[in-house]
Amino acid sequence: MRVLLKFIIDCDPDAAWRALHSPRAVSELYGPMVDMEPMAPEGLPTTFSPGDDIPVQLTALGAIPLGRQLIHASERVVDEPAGRVRIFRDSGIPLTGPLAALDVWDHQMAVSPVPGRPDQALWRDRLVIGGAAAPALWPMLWTVWQWRGARIRALAPTWAHDPASDRASDEASADDEG
């Protein structure tokens, strides 16, 4: 069973790609409905990297335990006629809680340029679930994914921060003052 989302967001593809690798940005996508807390004593990494296996605890509405999830990160790039598509994949698996009844968890998020619009990105999100519990869990996951899509669209403009451009501007300002 699948949940699919596809929409244009108001940030450039590089900013969207950085957000996909940011545990902080990812956890903001579910807030305030679902909290994602690290299970490892060292906390969440600064960025998700290919090959990472990161266990997290999920809680709904700040109090209802949803279970533990293993995030397994990988990525790939596909060249299409309209441009380069970067795909981030979480092929981890729910470890405990209601979602642990699933046998398959494959979440892929793709970011690509919007032709003629360098300040926007095409976001594609695909969640594939499987197992005997999938038909019962699909409506709840579909609803969460709609919420997630709305949060992505709302938060995307905040991802456009480019520290390298800010440093160049700061250096130029310092030169002007000196």
Q: Rg of the Cα trace of the chain?
A: 18
Secondary structure of residue 122 in the 3-state scheme: strand
Which pLDDT tens digit goes with each residue over 25-69? 988 888 788 899 999 999 899 999 999 999 999 998 888 998 999
CA–CA separation, 82 vs 8, rounded Å?
A: 14
Nearest CA among 4, 26, 7, 30 for reference residue 112? 7
Question: Residue ranges per domain, the chain?
Answer: 2-160
pLDDT > 70 fraction of the chain, expressed in percent and rounded: 90
Q: Supply the pLDDT for residue 81.
A: 84
**pLDDT band per the 50, 70, 90 thresholds, residue 170:** very low
- What's the burial of 133, exposed, middle or buried (CB within 10 Å: 0-12/13-18/19+)? middle
What is the β-pairing status of strands 2-9 and 34-38? unpaired
Q: pTM for the complete prediction? A: 0.85
List for the chain the helix, strand, coil content (%; round to 5).
Answer: 35, 40, 25
Give the domain 2-160 fold.
Answer: Alpha-D-Glucose-1,6-Bisphosphate; Chain A, domain 4 (3.30.530)
